């Protein structure tokens, strides 16, 4: 979980075109999610839940 959170924070996970791009792979998004534009996940809105789930203290 920590690696996923850090990857989002660093901008390594993002949506480019119709693909989800990560440091190691690219996935084609389902049709319902396509066409929404490029997006990065550096804002805490996207990754802060990993802190709540991954760290109980």
Read off the pLDDT of residues 10-32 as tens digits, 9 standing for 90 and up: 989 999 999 999 999 999 999 98
Rounded Cα–Cα distance for residues 38 and 54 (Å):
27
DSSP conformation class of 38 = -
> pTM for the full model?
0.68
| Residue 5 burial class via C-beta count within 10 angstroms: exposed 0-12, middle 13-18, buried 19 and up | buried
Contact 14, 43 (CB under 8 A): no
Q: How confident is the model at residue 4 (pLDDT cuts 50, 70, 90)?
A: confident
Report domain extents, the chain. 2-32+43-52
């Amino acid at each position: 979980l920590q690696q996923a959170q850090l990857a989002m924070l660093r901008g390594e996970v993002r949506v480019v075109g119709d693909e989800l791009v990560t440091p190691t792979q690219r996935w084609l998004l389902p049709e319902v999610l396509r066409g929404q534009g490029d997006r990065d996940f550096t804002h805490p809105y996207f990754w802060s839940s990993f802190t709540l789930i991954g760290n109980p203290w």
